[in-house]
Amino acid sequence: MKIYNKDEYRLNEPKLISKIREGAIFIYPTDTIYGIGCNAKNHEAVKKIREIKGNFMRPFSIMVPSIEWITDHCDLIQTEEEWLDKLPGPYTFILNLKYKESVADSVTNKDTIGVRIPDHWCTNIAKAAKVPIITTSANLSGGLFMTSLKTLNDKVRKEVDFMIDVGEISGRPSTIINLLDGDVIER
């Protein structure tokens, strides 16, 4: 397992994006906290993240390459579209998914999906890979969220293919806004 800083990631981006498309599991920074991710269209990679985290039931959210991805892959009504003006930002929006094949079946157990576009350079990972990326906190299910790789659980550390370390992040998990029923879940 290799740890890259931001500059090293950028130098190795083509190789790492290829690995992500093929199913690599990786830790990355966002505008809120560190996440663990993979190609959200790769069933085996998503299954591996579930095993690493010990999360076998709860749906995962995805980091998407653009607002256009959201409008192409999610059913939106006008009031939901207005919320998209908040992106990029520290929000996860719960929306109806138009096409089941937009993500692996193992991402969500519903017809809905949580979508994010972080206000951070990490969004370029999804853009470069041209696939949605699983975005879930890089901790064991039920554990504290991570703002530094120094606090990464050893079990998680041993299972990932690579990590991007930018030092301490002073954030909190994204605010989840269920646009289907108007619920706001702050963590």
Q: What per-residue confidence (pLDDT) applies to 94?
A: 94
Q: What is the pTM of this model?
A: 0.93
Instruction: Say how far apart CA 91 and CA 31 lie, in whole Å.
Output: 10
Cα 43 to Cα 24, 59, 61, 105: the distances in Å are 12, 13, 14, 7
For the segment 57-92, what is each residue's pLDDT rounded down to a tens digit? 889 999 999 999 999 999 988 778 889 999 999 999
> From the CB of residue 131, how many other CB atoms can be counted at a distance below 10 Å?
22
Q: What per-residue confidence (pLDDT) applies to 74?
A: 95
For the segment 119-177, what is each residue's pLDDT rounded down to a tens digit? 999 999 999 999 999 999 999 988 889 899 999 999 999 999 999 999 999 889 999 99
pLDDT band at 109 (very low <50, low <70, confident <90, very high): confident
pLDDT at 181 over 80: no
Q: What per-residue confidence (pLDDT) applies to 183?
A: 57
Computed on alpha carbons and rounded to an integer, the radius of gyration of the chain in Å comes to 15
pLDDT at 52 over 80: yes
For the segment 35-50, what is each residue's pLDDT rounded down to a tens digit? 999 999 999 999 999 9
Cα 109 to Cα 105, 106, 147: the distances in Å are 7, 7, 28
Instruction: Say how far apart CA 22 and CA 39 lie, in whole Å.
Output: 8
pLDDT at 187 over 60: no
**DSSP E strands, the chain:** 2-4, 26-29, 34-37, 61-63, 74-75, 91-97, 112-116, 133-137, 162-164, 175-178, 183-185
> Which is nearest to 107 in space by CA: 55, 66, 35?
55
HSE (side-chain half, CA atoms, 13 Å) at 176: 18
**Cross-strand bridge partners of residue 184:** 177
**Cross-strand bridge partners of residue 39:** 133
- Compare 26 and 77 and report the one with higher pLDDT: 26
Q: What per-residue confidence (pLDDT) applies to 59?
A: 93
Instruction: Say how far apart CA 134 and CA 63 lie, in whole Å.
Output: 6
DSSP letters along 46-67, please?
A: HHHHHHHHT-SSSPPEEE-S-H
Q: CATH number for the 2-185 domain, one of 3.30.70.141, 3.40.830.10, 3.40.50.2300, 3.90.870.10?
A: 3.90.870.10
Domain locations in the chain as residue ranges: 2-185
pLDDT band at 185 (very low <50, low <70, confident <90, very high): low
Instruction: Say how far apart CA 21 and CA 5 lie, in whole Å.
Output: 20
pLDDT band at 184 (very low <50, low <70, confident <90, very high): low
